[in-house]
Amino acid sequence: MKTKRWTVDVHDKLSTKDPQIAQAADLLRQNEVVAFPTETVYGLGANAESTEAVMKIYEAKGRPSDNPLIVHIADISQLDRIAGPASEKAKKLMKQFWPGALTLVLPCKPGVLSPRVTAGLETVAVRMPDHPLALALIRSSGLPIAAPSANLSGKPSPTRAEHVEHDLNGRIAGIIDGGATGLGVESTVISCSEDMPVLLRPGGITKEQIEEEIGEVLVDKGLTEKNETPISPGMKYTHYAPSAPLAVTEGSAERIQALVREYQQSGKRVGVLTTEERADIYEADFVKSCGRRDQLETVAASLYDALRSFDEVKVDFIIAEAFPNTGVGHAIMNRLMKAAGGKVIH
What part of residues 175-194 is at the interface with ligand AMP (CB under 6 A)? 186, 189
For residues 88 to 107, the per-residue mask of contacts with ligand AMP, x marking binding by CB under 6 A and - elsewhere, is -----------------x--
Of 18 and 186, which has the nearer Cβ to ligand AMP?
A: 186
104: β partners? 126, 190
Residues near 279 by beta carbon (within 8 Å), at least 6 away in sequence? 287, 289
Give Cβ neighbours of residue 48 (< 8 Å, ≥ 6 apart). 54, 69, 71, 82, 113, 114, 117, 143, 144, 145, 146
148 binds ligand AMP, rule: CB under 6 A: yes
**What does 233 interact with, of ligand AMP, Mg ion, none (CB < 5 to 8 A by kind)?**
ligand AMP
Establish if 302 lies at the interface with ligand AMP (CB under 6 A).
no
200 binds, among Mg ion, ligand AMP, none (CB under 5 to 8 A by kind): ligand AMP
Judged by CB under 6 A, the number of residues near ligand AMP is 20
Dihedrals phi, psi of 82, to nearest 5 degrees? -110, -25
- Contacting ligand AMP (CB under 6 A), which of 233, 245, 251, 327? 233
Among 128, 200, 223, 306, binds ligand AMP (CB under 6 A): 200
Q: Which helix (H) or strand (E) holds 282?
A: none
Counting contacts by CB under 6 A, is residue 152 touching ligand AMP? no
- Does residue 126 contact residue 79 with C-beta atoms inside 8 Å? yes
Contact partners, residue 5, CB within 8 Å, separation at least 6 = 161, 165, 174, 175, 176, 177
Whole-angstrom Cα distance, residue 338 to residue 332? 10
Q: Is 149 in the site for ligand AMP (CB under 6 A)?
A: yes
Measured between alpha carbons, how far is 222 from 19 in angstroms, rounded to an integer?
Answer: 44
CB of 60 to ligand AMP, least distance (A): 13
Residue 163 near ligand AMP by CB under 6 A: no
Among 53, 69, 176, 210, binds ligand AMP (CB under 6 A): 69
Binding-site partner at residue 143 among ligand AMP, Mg ion, none, CB < 5 to 8 Å by type: none
Distance of closest approach, residue 210 Cβ to Mg ion, in angstroms: 21
Q: Given CA atoms 259, 262, 265, 266 in this order, what sign does their dihedral have?
A: negative
Q: Which of 87, 140, 141, 149 binds Mg ion (CB under 5 A)?
A: 149
Count Cβ atoms below 10 Å from residue 126 Cβ, excluding itself.
27
Q: Which is nearer to ligand AMP, 176 or 198 (CB)?
A: 198
Q: SS3 of 258, please? A: helix
Residue 102 CA to residue 125 CA, distance in Å, equals 10
**Which residue lies nearer to ligand AMP by CB, 235 or 247?**
235
The 8-class DSSP code of residue 157 comes to: P
Is residue 39 a contact residue for ligand AMP (CB under 6 A)? no
- The residues of the shown chain that bind ligand AMP, judged by CB under 6 A, are 67-70, 105, 118, 121, 123-125, 148-149, 186, 189, 200-201, 232-235
- The residues of the shown chain that bind Mg ion, judged by CB under 5 A, are 148-149
